[in-house]
Amino acid sequence: MSSIDVTAVGDGRYRVEVADGAGVSRHEVTASSTDVDRFGGGVAAEQLIAASFEFLLEREPKESILSRFDLPVIGRYFPEYEREIRSRLDA
Protein backbone atom coordinates (compact mmCIF):
# COMPACT_ATOMS: atom_id res chain seq x y z
CA MET A 1 0.00 0.00 0.00
CA SER A 2 1.32 3.42 -0.95
CA SER A 3 0.92 6.67 0.93
CA ILE A 4 0.31 9.79 -1.14
CA ASP A 5 1.15 13.24 0.18
CA VAL A 6 0.00 16.26 -1.86
CA THR A 7 1.24 19.78 -1.06
CA ALA A 8 0.28 22.98 -2.86
CA VAL A 9 3.39 24.92 -3.89
CA GLY A 10 1.64 27.85 -5.61
CA ASP A 11 0.32 28.89 -9.00
CA GLY A 12 -1.66 25.69 -9.51
CA ARG A 13 1.38 23.53 -8.85
CA TYR A 14 1.43 20.63 -6.41
CA ARG A 15 4.24 18.49 -5.07
CA VAL A 16 3.29 14.82 -4.69
CA GLU A 17 5.28 12.24 -2.76
CA VAL A 18 4.40 8.60 -3.11
CA ALA A 19 5.94 6.30 -0.51
CA ASP A 20 5.85 2.54 -0.21
CA GLY A 21 8.13 -0.18 1.10
CA ALA A 22 10.46 0.31 -1.88
CA GLY A 23 11.06 4.03 -1.30
CA VAL A 24 9.68 7.42 -2.31
CA SER A 25 8.98 9.01 -5.67
CA ARG A 26 8.44 12.74 -6.12
CA HIS A 27 6.29 14.44 -8.72
CA GLU A 28 5.12 17.92 -9.66
CA VAL A 29 1.59 18.24 -11.01
CA THR A 30 0.05 21.35 -12.51
CA ALA A 31 -3.72 21.67 -12.16
CA SER A 32 -5.49 24.88 -13.10
CA SER A 33 -8.72 25.82 -11.37
CA THR A 34 -10.50 24.84 -14.61
CA ASP A 35 -8.89 21.38 -14.45
CA VAL A 36 -9.91 20.97 -10.81
CA ASP A 37 -13.51 21.94 -11.62
CA ARG A 38 -13.64 19.72 -14.70
CA PHE A 39 -12.20 16.57 -13.13
CA GLY A 40 -12.98 17.10 -9.46
CA GLY A 41 -16.46 18.55 -9.58
CA GLY A 42 -16.05 20.70 -6.49
CA VAL A 43 -13.52 18.77 -4.39
CA ALA A 44 -10.27 20.34 -3.21
CA ALA A 45 -7.38 20.17 -5.67
CA GLU A 46 -5.31 18.11 -3.22
CA GLN A 47 -8.08 15.52 -2.93
CA LEU A 48 -8.42 15.33 -6.72
CA ILE A 49 -4.67 14.89 -7.20
CA ALA A 50 -4.42 12.22 -4.49
CA ALA A 51 -7.30 10.30 -6.10
CA SER A 52 -5.62 10.72 -9.50
CA PHE A 53 -2.44 9.16 -8.12
CA GLU A 54 -4.44 6.27 -6.67
CA PHE A 55 -5.86 5.79 -10.17
CA LEU A 56 -2.38 5.85 -11.71
CA LEU A 57 -0.90 3.48 -9.12
CA GLU A 58 -3.54 0.89 -9.99
CA ARG A 59 -2.14 0.90 -13.53
CA GLU A 60 1.61 1.41 -13.15
CA PRO A 61 4.36 1.51 -10.51
CA LYS A 62 5.19 4.87 -8.94
CA GLU A 63 8.52 4.91 -10.76
CA SER A 64 6.69 4.93 -14.12
CA ILE A 65 4.62 8.02 -13.32
CA LEU A 66 6.01 11.14 -14.97
CA SER A 67 8.00 13.36 -12.62
CA ARG A 68 6.24 16.49 -13.99
CA PHE A 69 2.95 16.74 -15.80
CA ASP A 70 -0.28 18.69 -16.23
CA LEU A 71 -3.26 16.85 -14.74
CA PRO A 72 -5.17 16.51 -18.08
CA VAL A 73 -2.24 14.50 -19.51
CA ILE A 74 -3.48 11.46 -17.58
CA GLY A 75 -6.39 11.20 -20.01
CA ARG A 76 -4.01 10.88 -22.96
CA TYR A 77 -2.50 7.74 -21.47
CA PHE A 78 -5.69 6.40 -19.86
CA PRO A 79 -8.84 7.45 -21.77
CA GLU A 80 -11.07 6.18 -18.95
CA TYR A 81 -9.52 8.64 -16.46
CA GLU A 82 -12.12 11.42 -16.61
CA ARG A 83 -15.06 9.04 -16.22
CA GLU A 84 -13.44 7.00 -13.46
CA ILE A 85 -12.05 9.89 -11.42
CA ARG A 86 -15.47 11.54 -11.23
CA SER A 87 -17.14 8.31 -10.08
CA ARG A 88 -14.43 7.82 -7.40
CA LEU A 89 -14.89 11.32 -6.08
CA ASP A 90 -18.69 11.14 -6.16
CA ALA A 91 -18.70 7.91 -4.15
In whole numbers, what is the pLDDT of the chain averaged over residues?
95
Task: State residue 91's pLDDT score.
Answer: 62
Domain boundaries, the chain: 3-90
Residue count of the chain:
91
pLDDT value at residue 41: 87
Say how many C-beta atoms besides its own lie within 10 A of residue 8's C-beta.
14
**Whole-prediction pTM value?**
0.95
Going across the sheet that includes 68-70, the strands are 3-10, 13-20, 23-30, 68-70
Structure confidence by residue, pLDDT tens digits, 47-62: 999 999 999 999 999 9
Which stretches of the chain score pLDDT less than 70?
A: 91
Gap between the Cα atoms of 63 and 45, Å rounded: 23
CB atoms within 10 A of CB 48: 27
